[in-house]
Amino acid sequence: MALAAAVAAFAVLLLSPPPEDPIRPGQPAPGFDLPLLDGGATVSLAGLRGRVVLLNFWATWCGPCEAEMPAMQRLHAQLAGPDFELVAVSVDTKREDVDAYRTRLGLHFPIALDPEKRIAEAYQSHRYPESYLIDRDGRILQRYIGPREWDTPIYMDHIRRVIAGEQEGAAPE
CATH number of the domain where residue 130 is located: 3.40.30.10
Is 2 a domain residue?
no
The length of the chain in residues reads 173
3 close to 19: Cβ distance less than 8 angstroms: no
Q: Which domain holds residue 149?
A: 52-168
Is 41 a domain residue?
no
Is 132 a domain residue?
yes
Is 17 a domain residue?
no
Is 129 a domain residue?
yes
**pLDDT one-digit tens code per residue, 100-130:** 999 999 999 999 999 999 999 999 998 899 9
**pLDDT one-digit tens code per residue, 21-69:** 678 899 999 999 999 998 879 999 999 999 999 999 999 999 999 999 9
Q: How many domains does the chain have?
A: 1
Is 16 a domain residue?
no
Total-model pTM = 0.85
Is 88 a domain residue?
yes
Question: 146's torsion region: left (phi>0), alpha (psi -120 to 50) or beta?
Answer: left
Is 66 a domain residue?
yes
